[in-house]
Amino acid sequence: MSDQYKAIVLNQEGENFKREIKTIDKSFLKHGDVTVKVDYSDLNFKDGMILKNGGRLVKEFPHIPGIDFAGKVLESDNSKFKEGDEVILTGFRVGEIFFGGYSQIAKVNADFLVKKPDSLSTKQAMILGTAGFTSLMSAFAIQARESILLGEKVNDVLVTGATGGVGSVAIMALTKLGYKVTAVTGKDSKTDYLKSLGAKNIVNRAEFDKDPRPIDKGLWDGVVDTVGGKILANAIAQTKSNGIIAVCGNANSNELNTNLLPFMLRGIKVWGMDSANASIKRREFIWGEASKLIDFDLLENSILTLSLEELLETYPKILKGEISGRVIVDLNK
């Protein structure tokens, strides 16, 4: 491959923030010990923030964004990887403080990479990306009531922000694990889509976006919450004894006003999903299980595939909540 490659480059001079596609020499890459030809990246909410104005996450410019990518190793100065290995990267602040995946070539620390299992393609890995990885982490957190805590079988699981990248994949994974999923959404037009993913019931978000009672009727064995705020507070109040709530987003609010009664009287557990810093061993397990829990043929019906040029036109929509499902970026498009 040529030493010239295409990448999105961010720059800031004073109040002037610029994002543009540039052809750059490979010597521009300054981090890491493994060089990867990127096949696919994706678009997450955090990517949208960074593309808009750096999102207060990027500290040095010029910068290449993109928090996820999958591709093939071109060069490696680390014994863990060799030329030709197919790899996945999500998290570790790549795309924030390290150059990221919106580039035809990326160079990163070997400790950030996971070898792609044979059961997935690089495209499928990015159909999941950070959002899907977080969804799978959340599904296994719910399953932990049975597998780790040796509690009663999980039956009823609530998923908030159900049409988003995390929520939609969580519905599919939880359904494959044998659970009955209730999806919360403000988009009535997406009812058929959510049911196609496996949701048994659809609830309008207005029923949750209100002041919660201190403790309410127990309805859920588990909750995957992507939105926070009053919606999470109501989900906590409605969780059954020994239920697990996987918290993985704040699309509605960073705030959480609740009380101790659900925790003291029902022993519920709120588990934060920090996918960016998950251990490599945990990542290898989750990526290895992905193909068993995800119907990619079904998921691809809601996938939008973009070029870098199209990405610059589209990213504002994710910040406005106007994207359902997943957006992937084809670096060869």
pLDDT tens, residue by residue, 22-76:
998 888 998 899 999 999 999 998 999 999 999 889 999 999 999 999 999 999 9
Residue 148's pLDDT is 83
Instruction: Give the pLDDT mean for 81-91.
Output: 97
- Could you give all domains of the chain from N- to C-terminal order, each with its CATH number? 4-116+295-330 (3.90.180.10), 130-275 (3.40.50.720)
Distance CA 27, CA 11 (A): 18
Give the pLDDT confidence score for residue 302 in this predicted structure. Answer: 79
- Contact between 8 and 28 under an 8 Å Cβ cutoff? The reply is no
Q: Residue 259 to residues 72, 212, 233, 308: CA-CA distances in angstroms?
A: 49, 10, 9, 46
The predicted model gives 156-185 an average pLDDT of 95
What pTM, to 2 d.p., does this model score?
0.92
Confidence of residue 1 (pLDDT cuts 50, 70, 90): low
Percentage of the chain lying above the pLDDT 90 cut: 81
Distance between CA 213 and CA 237 in Å, rounded? 7
Query: How far is Cα of residue 9 from the mean position of the Cα atoms in its chain?
Result: 23
Determine the pLDDT at residue 239: 97
Residue burial 94-106, b: 16+ Cβ < 10 Å; e: rest: bbbebbbbbbbbb
Judged by average pLDDT, the poorest of 93-107, 115-129, 138-152 is 138-152
- Mean pLDDT, residues 191-199 taken together: 93
Q: Which amino acid is at 242?
A: N
Which residue has tokens 């409605």? 238
Asked whether 222 and 151 are in contact (CB, 8 A), the reply is no
Nearest-angstrom CA–CA distance, 302 and 187: 15
The alpha-helical segments, DSSP class H, found in the chain are 45-53, 122-147, 165-176, 191-197, 229-237, 261-266, 280-293, 296-299, 308-314, 316-319
The pLDDT, as a whole number, for residue 203 is 96
Does the structure show a pLDDT above 80 at 101? Answer: yes
C-alpha to C-alpha distances, 16 to 50, 100, 142, 171, 287, nearest whole angstrom: 14, 22, 45, 41, 40
Q: CB count, 10 Å around CB of 3?
A: 10
pLDDT of 250 reads 83
Reduced to 3 states, what is the DSSP secondary structure of residue 79? coil
The per-residue pLDDT for 2 is 65
Does position 253 have pLDDT exceeding 90, yes or no? no
Q: Is 226 helix (H, G, I), strand (E, B) or coil?
A: coil
Give the chain's mean pLDDT: 93
